[in-house]
Amino acid sequence: MTQHGKTPFLDLVTPHLELEEELVAVFRAALKTAGFIGGPMLEGFEREFAQFCDSPHCVGVASGTDALRFALMAAGVGHGECVITVPNTFIATTEAISQAGAFPEFVDVDEATSNMDVQKLAAYLELECELHPQSKRLISKRSGHPVSAIVPVHLYGQMADMDVILELAQKYNLVVVEDACQAHGAEYFSRAENRWRKAGSMGHAAAFSFYPGKNLGACGEAGAVTTACEQLARKVRMLRDHGQAEKYYHDVEGYNGRLDAVQAGIMRVKLASLADWNEQRRAKAAYYAELFEARVGDAVILPFEAPQCKAVYHLYVIRTEDREQMKTDLAGANIGTGIHYPVPLHLQKAYRGLGYREGDFPVAEKLAAQILSLPMYPNLTSEQQIDVVERIAEHLKASGRSLVTKDAVPAA
């Protein structure tokens, strides 16, 4: 039996200690040249991250939220339009839509993957929208606003069903901006193209966050837009820098949304490990699945990886009907967990004005009540994983659930 050490939900200390010399060297180089904004560190990171995503262009910005907002604006999403997304995401997705001047509208998610339900998207476009006879624009019957874009969220590190989303977008002439903030390096097998595609390479543009806890994290705030469209990339470059392409000549009003050179340099160092880290996350996910199968059976629902997806497990999210008690028990055993996210956006106070009600998105609501994110990071040890699953097994047994009890724990 393992002793119960501490298993934090996230460990951001170890990976930085391992790279300490290289990371400190970035800061020293910046001090020596005073290259804090723009310059070779930024350009190097943009080039390398674009390559990593199989995308022609990458533009570094100050956060994932900026990336989403600038991508939508640069893609032409305008005032008074509506943008379709999912209710079970971080609020930054819809903040960016609102701050671009548009309104979010939601479609429910698929229960197995937690990602946008593409059948519901098709039904929404077909039945809840109509083509305006004069302008030929697609109008949402719900709000009366023209629909201009779809923002699929690659939640927990697994890509949404992009083939279908892109096909619908083409049919209705909509822009697609991927929210890839949790999906650096995730892959999707496109049936349409008969090849694997990376997150950030499929939509008209994609947004990444490098918030410290993401699969690729800065030592501070950072984000990026990827796109195959040179003009869109140029617009994002202007938006991040006060609307200027040339200093003090402002074509439009923009923002202060640049990516720090030091953060770019730090991420360049970390990017070299990202593919390995993602593989390690996938291995931990597989081991969790083995452990759960041996010790817990089907008393909890495990993450489902769709056959066309290679997920990068930004989060490892299980489902259980007594989530609150399980979370408390795990906390008592020094095991950190999270809930991503406890209240779907359509039921948040901030969005009362949108007029949605409980029951509007039953799948997202059901998931919100059941989900629990377990510790998941590249340096999570198998002892820690065994401890997590044992604790969950004990919790379920104590609460009278019948378990599969094989004695042996699978070796890592």
Ligand X SMILES: *Cc1c(COP(=O)(O)O)cnc(C)c1O
- Enumerate binding residues for ligand X (CB under 6 A): 63-65, 89-90, 92-93, 153, 179, 181-182, 209, 211, 223
Alpha-helical segments (H) within 296-381:
323-332, 362-370
Q: What is the dihedral of CA 363, 111, 346, 183, to 10 degrees?
A: 170
How open is the CA angle 404-328-183, to the nearest 5 degrees?
80
Is the preceding peptide bond at 288 cis, omega within 30 degrees of 0?
no
64 vs 138, beta carbon nearer ligand X: 64
Q: Is the dihedral of CA 396, 87, 120, 208 positive or negative?
A: negative
Closest CA to 65 of 176, 207, 203: 207
Least separation in angstroms between residue 300's CB and ligand X is 23
69/327 with CB nearer ligand X:
69
Residue 240 near residue 233 (C-beta atoms within 8 A): no
Q: How far, in Å, CA of 288 to CA of 296, rounded?
A: 11
* Closest-approach residue to ligand X (CB): 64
Minimum CB separation of residue 28 from ligand X in Å reads 26
Indicate the residue among 299 and 374 with the shorter CB distance to ligand X. 374
Q: Distance of alpha carbon 405 from its chain centroid, rounded?
A: 35
**For ligand X, the closer CB: 287 or 351:** 351
Query: Min. distance of Cβ 208 from ligand X in angstroms?
Result: 8
State the minimum distance, in angstroms, from the CB of residue 249 to ligand X. 29
What is the smallest separation between the CB atom of 397 and ligand X, expressed in angstroms? Answer: 34
CB atoms within 10 A of CB 38: 15
Output 168 or 177, the one with its CB closest to ligand X.
177
Of the two residues 90 and 106, which places its CB atom closer to ligand X in the complex? Answer: 90
Looking only at the bridges linking them, the beta strands covering 147-150 and 138-140 are: unpaired
State how far Cα 139 lies from the chain centre: 28
- Least separation in angstroms between residue 406's CB and ligand X is 36
**Which is nearer to ligand X, 93 or 384 (by Cβ)?**
93
Counting every residue written for the chain, the total comes to 412
76: its two tokens: 């032409």
In contact, 156 and 89? CB cutoff 8 Å:
no
Q: How far is the CB of 160 from ligand X (least distance, A)?
A: 11
User: Between residues 155 and 392, which has the closer beta carbon with respect to ligand X?
Assistant: 155
Q: Tell me how far apart the terminal alpha carbons of the chain are, to the nearest angstrom.
A: 15
Q: Whole-number minimum distance, CB 181 to ligand X, in Å?
A: 3
